[in-house]
Amino acid sequence: MTIPTHASSTIADPFADVDLTERDLTEFDLLNLDAETLVNPYPFFKAMREREPVFREPHYGVYLVSRHEDIVSVARRPEVFSSLLHAMGPLAKLPERAEGESVSDQIRKYTEQVGQPSLVNMDPPQHRPYRLLVNKLFSPKRIEGIEQYIERLADGLIDEFVDQKEVEFIDAFAGPIPFLVVADLLGVPREDHDEFKRQLRGEEFSLGNPSAKHVATRVRVREQGAQAGGVTTGLMGYIHDYFVRYITERREAPKDDLMSQLATATFPDSDEQPTIEQVVALALVFFGAGQETTVRLFTTGMQILLERPEIWEELRADGELIPNFVEECLRFDTPVKGLFRLAREDAEIGAVRVPAGSHVLMLWGSGNRDAKRFPKNPEEFDLHRDDAYRNMSFGEGIHFCPGAPLARLEAIIAWKVFFKRIKAVRAADPAEAYSYLPSFIIRGLSHLHLEIERA
């Protein structure tokens, strides 16, 4: 798909004329990231929803769940569908199941090998005390308090490029915002923010953004890290070491910030204090889960604005429309296309029987285009859609994203500031094809070069 130079009434769909009923579902290869499905997975999702809503894809034997109600039914059964391998699915190698062993035995052995799972990978009953701890930290009051910081941050970033003719959107704006907002929320002192920003620049794929190659690298790093007693390399290594120091200090001399709260918090159910490594692991989850996701929410927004200049004009004229723009971006091009679960036992999804040990991929991005949930032209971007907020982009059930209010707030404020400061944007090279992240989890662009005109 190339970036159109003219306005069009809907986002260009390169498969609009393809008769999907003629197409064999096995021709699509979501998990090996074939170019066609990477650029536009939606015809495949639609074909699955219509013909085989729980489709066992032939390459890894993963059950792809594409209808909204079936996805909800998987996400709401965490006792049956484990989150252990939520981002890696079949790419993580579980220990063999010996005669008489259950999938739960396999899961136990795996965690003994690779160490304690992080919040997103935990199942009940382990998940609950950690989640209660996190919920305490994301109170509406705390989120409100960060509003002004986001505004100043967005303004400051724009100051850095507003007089340039060209800018790379992710490096200059979409990347630093979620990263520094999480850092600020956790209580990283402002004087350290420039160093955090410097560490981020040029960093690719290390945060919550798997493809087969990167999962393999992460598994290796994690195994080496486990042997060495912790995560040691790259941006995550930097953040890890920083937070170990920081939390140790905060435990001794607490301040009025989230990190001090985390450092001194006790599990709500037991009054026990988490270890320093457990608190650091939680901090890393915030960066991992809050970064790539929010960045791609921004790139989708910008892509739509480039293709639909009338939406750009409408939003600049009426800021009240920005929240719905953000919701429709979440729905239309869901930043987390899908996440895995592992069936602990034989189970049913809709009418399909899924055997114990199966990997299941819940396709949030497909559920968000399900006509049963969004009856009005679900395949189209509609700025004025009145039920866009009913999207499932932040998940469902016990793992529902605690960062959802923060992500929404970041996007709304950052776009407000952007529209105020920038009068016009164009693709720097209209002939250049969009470059999508090679990930079967994350949906969005890897870079976006813009020409800008200051307001």
Question: Applying CB under 6 A, which residues contact ligand HEM?
Answer: 83, 86, 119-120, 131, 182, 285-286, 289-290, 293-294, 297, 335-336, 339, 364, 393-395, 399, 401-403, 406-407
Closest separation between CB of residue 330 and ligand HEM, Å?
7
Residue (52 or 151) nearer to ligand HEM, CB: 151
Residue (47 or 290) nearer to ligand HEM, CB: 290
How distant, in Å, are the alpha carbons of 21, 306, 443 from that of 59?
Answer: 21, 36, 21
CB 3 within 8 A of CB 306: yes
The Cβ of residue 405 has, within 10 Å, a number of other Cβ atoms equal to 16
| Beta-carbon contacts of residue 120 (< 8 Å; ≥ 6 apart) | 83, 86, 87, 285, 289, 399
Residue (175 or 290) nearer to ligand HEM, CB: 290
Closest separation between CB of residue 431 and ligand HEM, Å?
30
CA-nearest of 422, 181, 146, 213 to 294 is 181
Residue (182 or 315) nearer to ligand HEM, CB: 182
CB 357 within 8 A of CB 60: no
| Beta-carbon contacts of residue 68 (< 8 Å; ≥ 6 apart) | 367, 368, 370, 372, 373, 392
361 vs 344: CA distance, rounded Å: 14
Closest separation between CB of residue 286 and ligand HEM, Å?
4
Closest separation between CB of residue 101 and ligand HEM, Å?
25
Residue 156: its H or E element: helix 147-161
Provide the Cα torsion 280, 283, 285, 289; round to 10°.
-160
| Beta-carbon contacts of residue 300 (< 8 Å; ≥ 6 apart) | 329, 332, 333, 335, 443, 444, 445
| Burial class of residue 426 (count of CB atoms within 10 Å of its CB; 0-12, 13-18, 19+) | middle
How distant, in Å, are the alpha carbons of 75, 79, 136 from that of 358?
Answer: 15, 14, 34
Residue (360 or 452) nearer to ligand HEM, CB: 360
Report the greatest alpha carbon distance in the chain.
Answer: 69
Residue (41 or 395) nearer to ligand HEM, CB: 395
Closest separation between CB of residue 207 and ligand HEM, Å?
11
CA-nearest of 173, 177, 219, 208 to 287 is 208
Closest separation between CB of residue 26 and ligand HEM, Å?
27
Residue (79 or 432) nearer to ligand HEM, CB: 79
Closest separation between CB of residue 83 and ligand HEM, Å?
5
Residue (43 or 403) nearer to ligand HEM, CB: 403
Give me the sheet containing 63-65, strands edge to edge: 54-56, 63-65, 359-362, 339-343, 81-82
131 vs 11: CA distance, rounded Å: 38
Residue (385 or 427) nearer to ligand HEM, CB: 385
Residue (225 or 395) nearer to ligand HEM, CB: 395
| 427 token code pair | 């693709």
Closest separation between CB of residue 65 and ligand HEM, Å?
13
| 250 token code pair | 């905060």
Residue (47 or 84) nearer to ligand HEM, CB: 84
What spatial distance separates the first Cα and last Cα of the chain, rounded to whole Å? 30
DSSP states along 93-145: -PPP--TT--HHHHHHHHHHHH-PPPGGG--TTTHHHHHHHHHHHS-HHHHHH
Residue nearest to ligand HEM (CB): 403
Closest separation between CB of residue 74 and ligand HEM, Å?
10
Closest separation between CB of residue 179 and ligand HEM, Å?
10
Residue (225 or 367) nearer to ligand HEM, CB: 367
Closest separation between CB of residue 342 and ligand HEM, Å?
12
Closest separation between CB of residue 71 and ligand HEM, Å?
10
